[in-house]
């Protein structure tokens, strides 16, 4: 009986240790995934820009973006993505649209396409869009296991007062710089 209790105790200890080891090895990966799934488009909302058809019969691009943001907020990502891409055909250098499209591709797991769009936003790195593009590019670099490039982006974002500076600081700490 004592032998059985001893064997069961050892098995329980092994299982607990292996569970902790697995949790430790996937903790950063899980955080990165969680960040890619928690995108808040309200950061980019056009404050006070509300489309009123009585004021103007033709909606502006900002009005259209706002409508598409609602789709993204309602988790209709593919429909929002199609709409953003349609607007990009009208205005291919619109930094707000490029960022949104990049974010949605990242969210959908298409890292290479997301990266292509986000790199186009970097030209305006002093704007909130450029800062945020670096945050999302850092998440992509981490998923590609390119930690040094990710750290460079994270250091930049953590040193700003952008939307993701706190999360960037936390990930830097997790990477044990």
pTM for the structure as a whole:
0.75
Predicted local confidence at residue 177, as pLDDT: 55
Predicted local confidence at residue 161, as pLDDT: 80
Taking the chain (177 residues) in runs of 10, the rounded mean pLDDT of each run is 73 62 59 69 51 63 89 91 95 92 94 96 80 94 93 92 89 82
The owner of tokens 């997301």 is 114
Q: Please state which CATH number belongs to domain 31-41+58-174.
A: 1.25.40.10
- Name the residue ranges covered by the structural domains of the chain: 31-41+58-174
Report d(CA 49, CA 56) in Å as an integer.
Answer: 12
Predicted local confidence at residue 39, as pLDDT: 65
Sign of the Cα pseudo-torsion (141, 171, 73, 90, in order) = negative
Predicted local confidence at residue 8, as pLDDT: 66
Predicted local confidence at residue 49, as pLDDT: 43
**Backbone torsions φ then ψ of 48, nearest 5 degrees:** 80, 0
């Amino acid at each position: 009986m004592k032998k059985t209790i001893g064997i069961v105790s050892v098995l329980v200890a092994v299982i607990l240790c292996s569970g902790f080891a697995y949790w430790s090895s996937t903790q950063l990966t899980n955080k990165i995934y969680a960040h890619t799934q928690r995108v808040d488009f309200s950061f980019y909302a056009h404050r006070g820009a509300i489309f009123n058809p009585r004021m103007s019969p033709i909606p502006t691009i900002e009005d259209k973006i706002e409508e598409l943001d609602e789709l993204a907020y309602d988790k209709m990502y593919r429909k929002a993505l199609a709409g953003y891409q349609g607007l990009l055909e009208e205005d291919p250098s619109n930094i707000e649209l490029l960022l949104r499209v990049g974010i949605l591709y990242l969210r959908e797991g298409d890292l290479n396409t997301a990266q292509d769009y986000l790199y186009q936003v970097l030209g305006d790195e002093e704007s909130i869009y450029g800062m945020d593009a670096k945050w999302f590019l850092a998440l992509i670099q981490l998923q590609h296991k390119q930690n040094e490039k990710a750290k460079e982006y994270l250091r930049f974002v953590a040193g700003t007062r952008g939307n993701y500076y706190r999360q960037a600081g936390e990930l830097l700490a997790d990477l044990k710089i």
